[in-house]
Structure 1
Amino acid sequence: MNKVLTQSKTIAVEIWLPIGLFVLWWFATAGSTSLYFPPLPRIVAKLGEILSTRFASDILPSLQNFGLGLGIAILAGITLGLALGALPPVHEALKPVLEFMRAIPGVAILPVALFIFGIGSDMKVAIIVFGAFWPVLLNTIDGIRGVDGLVKEVSRSYKIRPVDYIFRILLPAASPQIIAGVRISVSLGIILIVASEYIASTEGIGYIQLQSARLFQMDVMWAALLLLGVLGYVANALFRLVEHGLLRWHRGVRGTSQGA
């Protein structure tokens, strides 16, 4: 019962401000006649229209590209980060190249991606992979290198198999930092999928927003913007559920150590 009450309070604290701002926006713009700031009721109506008529043609492709690009970035970032974190000399040798590459914004490679992959989903996925890859990679490297040296020595002394060493010791120990990197990548993925749909695209949420702005359909533009915000919030909420399950052991260990 206490757990349910605690969760209810947490949810209430989290959602009261968004709900309050939404209500304020609703009544503040209810009588608006401005072309650029249409009434929120009309925006919500357009949002419902987009969801009902353009889900398969525009929203679903964006979600698919986002999921595929983020999945590849996470897998590649953890795999390479594990290798570089476990091999410090290799990491030091590659560090200048990694620092150079990660300093390039994902949006900046749009022309290159267009040239290599052409117009289509491959280009959008490539941009998401490039931008979302670096937080996962760097956090994984830091997490692996931050594993207690005594744990590593004990593992070598007991001659633990490499597979068990990786999946039962290194990755669990580094998981808090890896998860932190993935969380950053989720936000970057949302940004990059929209940016990739602004250029040479005929579908997607970003395409809806850009085209509606060009046609001065401001209610549609605001509806697409509202949809992006909702998708970002939902993606973050789902990731928090995954994070809660994956790091349950970490919170237990931390609670035990604090209690001691």
Structure 2
Amino acid sequence: MTRIERGTLGALGVLGFLAVVEVAGRTGLIPGSVLPPISQVLAVAATLPLDERFRSDVLATLEACLSGLAIAALIAVPAGLLLGSVPFLERSVRPLVEFLRPIPSVSLIPLAMFLFPASQDAKTALVVYTCSWPLLINTLYGLGDVDPLAKDTLRSFGFGPLAVMWRVSLPSAAPFIATGARIAVSVTLIVAVSVELLAPGDGGIGAFQSLAGSANRIDRMLAATVWAGLIGLAANLLFTAAERRLFHWHRERTGVTA
């Protein structure tokens, strides 16, 4: 199945789902106070970009997501390179990593809010925590995929460990690191909005939804949800396109064509 065919089927699935929800809302199968007709939600969503408050809330969420992702990359990628280059250190730290990694980020929201009274700082800290794991694990996995013959060849010509890391290990691991970044991006928005829902003081999409819900404007709350989904989809498509363009050689070597 080609990419266009998959995209067409996906679009038909979305349209079918929207039609079912619209019918359920219009016929009263789902009370309008619980779920307004989807056409009403989409109409409100179309007007939200004109709302200055909503635009500032979106920027607040994106600021926490992007800054947290950048900080996580600066921490997790070097840490992964270090652990992947020193097997004894990697074996020593691996149990701790495997213990901390499965802990849901949202379960740490109360602790983050206690440590960082400003909700924007709490958001950024939790985004850093969430993004660090896929970046770290994929960096380790990428280093394990490096061709040992290429490293031995450079060593035979007198290159030191740092030169081998820079010339062979890091370029070989780069596609895996990019995949880790794409996975991290897909969850940053979830974490940021979750914090904003519980601590709406510094704004954000979650704060906008909380305010709309308290005013019983379910349509505005769901419209903000639509935009959150569109932003997440756009970020994933952007990272996927960049990954495909920058590392096409890796996809061809591994036989990945999708």
Q: Which residue of 2 aligns with 1:130?
A: 129
Instruction: Choose 23-32 or 228-237, whichever is displaced more.
Output: 23-32
What CA distance in whole angstroms lies between the structure 2 residues aligned with 1:103 and 1:14?
31
In structure 2, runs of 5+ residues without a counterpart are none
**Counterpart contact for 2:61–2:189, Cα < 8 Å:** no
> Are the structure 2 counterparts of residues 254 and 103 from structure 1 closer, same or farther at C-alpha, using a change threshold of 3 Å?
closer
**SS of residue paired to 1:198:** helix
Cα RMSD after superposing both structures? 2.4
The runs of 4+ residues in structure 1 deviating greater than 6 Å are none
Q: Deviations over 1:48-100 (max 9, x none)?
A: 33221133321111111111111221232211101111111111122222223
Q: Which residue of 2 aligns with 1:21?
A: 17
**Counterpart contact for 2:105–2:130, Cα < 8 Å:** yes
Q: Which residue of 2 aligns with 1:167?
A: 166
Q: Which residue of 1 aligns with 2:100?
A: 101
Post-superposition offset of 1:189: 0.7
User: What TM-score, normalized to structure 2?
Assistant: 0.86
**Percent of counterpart pairs with the same letter?**
34
Q: Is residue 114 from structure 1 mapped to residue 100 from structure 2 by the alignment?
A: no
Q: Is residue 41 from structure 1 mapped to residue 39 from structure 2 by the alignment?
A: yes
**Counterpart contact for 1:30–1:40, Cα < 8 Å:** no
Q: 2:116 is matched by which residue type in structure 1?
A: F
Q: 1:218 is matched by which residue type in structure 2?
A: I
Post-superposition offset of 1:211: 2.9
Q: Which residue of 2 aligns with 1:240?
A: 240
> Are the structure 2 counterparts of residues 55 and 214 from structure 1 closer, same or farther at C-alpha, using a change threshold of 3 Å?
closer
**Counterpart contact for 1:140–1:174, Cα < 8 Å:** yes
Instruction: Choose 193-202 or 21-30, whichever is displaced more.
Output: 21-30
Q: 2:48 is matched by which residue type in structure 1?
A: I
Post-superposition offset of 1:205: 0.8
In structure 1, runs of 5+ residues without a counterpart are 1-5
What CA distance in whole angstroms lies between the structure 2 residues aligned with 1:231 and 1:24?
24
Post-superposition offset of 1:29: 3.5
Q: Which residue of 2 aligns with 1:86?
A: 85
What CA distance in whole angstroms lies between the structure 2 residues aligned with 1:147 and 1:87?
14
Instruction: Choose 198-207 or 45-54, whichever is displaced more.
Output: 45-54
Q: Deviations over 1:110-153 (max 9, x none)?
A: 22222222123111100100111111101111211232322222
Q: Which residue of 1 aligns with 2:147?
A: 148
What CA distance in whole angstroms lies between the structure 1 residues aligned with 2:18 and 2:160?
55
> Are the structure 2 counterparts of residues 13 and 156 from structure 1 closer, same or farther at C-alpha, using a change threshold of 3 Å?
farther
Q: 1:135 is matched by which residue type in structure 2?
A: P
Q: Which residue of 2 aligns with 1:196?
A: 195
Post-superposition offset of 1:162: 4.7
User: What TM-score, normalized to structure 1?
Assistant: 0.85
